[in-house]
Amino acid sequence: MRRRWSITLITLTLMAQPVLGQEDSDLLKRTKISGLVIGDAYWMAAHHNGDIEDQNGFWFRRIYLTFDHTLDPAWDLRLRFEHNSPGDFESSDKLDPFVKDAYVRWKESGHSIYLGISGTPIWGVVEPFWGYRSVEKTVLDLQKLGSSRDFGVAFKGRFDEAGKVRYHAMFGTGSGTKGETNKGKKGQVSIGFYPTKSWLIEFYGDYEDRPGDTDRGVFQVFTGWQSEQGRVGFQVARQHREIEDGESLDLDIGSVFGVWNASPRAAILARYDRMFDPNPDAAKIAYLPMDPTAKSNLALFGVDFELHEQVHLIPNAEIVFYDDVDDGPTPNTDVAIRTTIFVTF
């Protein structure tokens, strides 16, 4: 029912555009429709789970359809739908759309206030700097240590005229795009420093009030350097988890990446992620499930070919290798070979 409702709404909106344009051309000028598609041809060349090893095929890891509408110079709103394949190597469900963004925004003099479902600060700086969400999520996103969206109120802007000190704060439900099922809330704050056009450093922290004695908090530091030739980023973070009737858990993580613009229409990308502690949620990672009992290392390599300004073909490989486990066998290495297509419109 939800999928049929979403598709019907989108279809009616698109069909109504010519009619509305005849009656009110200004409405069309103030409305923008955009989107993107990320898909792969993939082969799991090796995997610690024998049921996944050698699986291959095609999937959509992300499809966006976005409606942006300007009310006046100070107010606008966004409605965005997302679809994606399950990526768990078990489900055969159809692509089911859900609401990714639904907010109204007020902006004035470099400051904005968001009301509704909007992007969170946790990787709001890191992901655009990495620039290859089409290939892989940033490390905290990949390891399921946060959510890209939340329902609440957010504040975003700059402290100075030049934009050298920027902020993004949010107070929300902590439930992402899902419905809230507890009384607790989540607070998130990011402060970014941009001393030059080439350098940036960001400090991020959050705290989530969860049911019982299961509260969580994240602290992150990210720094990046960029030029016309490319960019380099370095990120470290820790998530503290309170465990009900057990000892608290700290998950330490690090990531370093680089992108080299080899030519005007080709770039080479590489990344290394290190989980200094086993991640209990690693087996739930979509498209690249990891072993939850061992410390992990992820190496990523790819080449981005720009076929068109809005069409990119990116052959890439991800290799996950594990540390020895004290009380069991060392998990086998995971190797995912992909050819990614990235299209925007």
Percent of the chain past pLDDT 70, that is, above it, reads: 93
With 0-12 / 13-18 / 19 or more C-beta atoms within 10 angstroms meaning exposed / middle / buried, residue 140 is buried
Q: How confident is the model at residue 2 (pLDDT cuts 50, 70, 90)?
A: very low
pLDDT at 28: 81
Q: Express each pLDDT in 73-126 by its tens digit.
A: 999 999 999 999 999 999 888 888 999 999 999 999 999 999 999 999 999 999
- Taking residues 1-11, what's their average pLDDT? 47
pLDDT at res. 24: 62
Q: 287: Cβ–Cβ under 8 A, 6 or more apart, which residues?
A: 40, 42, 59, 61, 87, 336
Q: Which domain holds residue 155?
A: 2-344
Reported as a single tens digit per residue, the pLDDT across 263-319 is 999 999 999 999 999 999 999 999 999 999 999 999 999 999 999 999 999 999 999
Closest alpha carbon to 255 in 98, 71, 127: 127
- Token pair listed for 134: 């089409």
| pLDDT for position 319 | 98
Count of structural domains, the chain: 1
Nearest to 198 by CA among 164, 154, 239, 150: 164
Residue 10 has pLDDT above 60, yes or no: no
Q: What is the CATH number of the domain that holds 57?
A: 2.40.160.10
Report the run of H or E that residue 258 belongs to, with start and end. Answer: strand 249-263
Encode pLDDT of 205-243 as tens digits: 999 999 999 999 999 999 999 999 999 999 999 999 999
The single-letter DSSP state of residue 145 is S
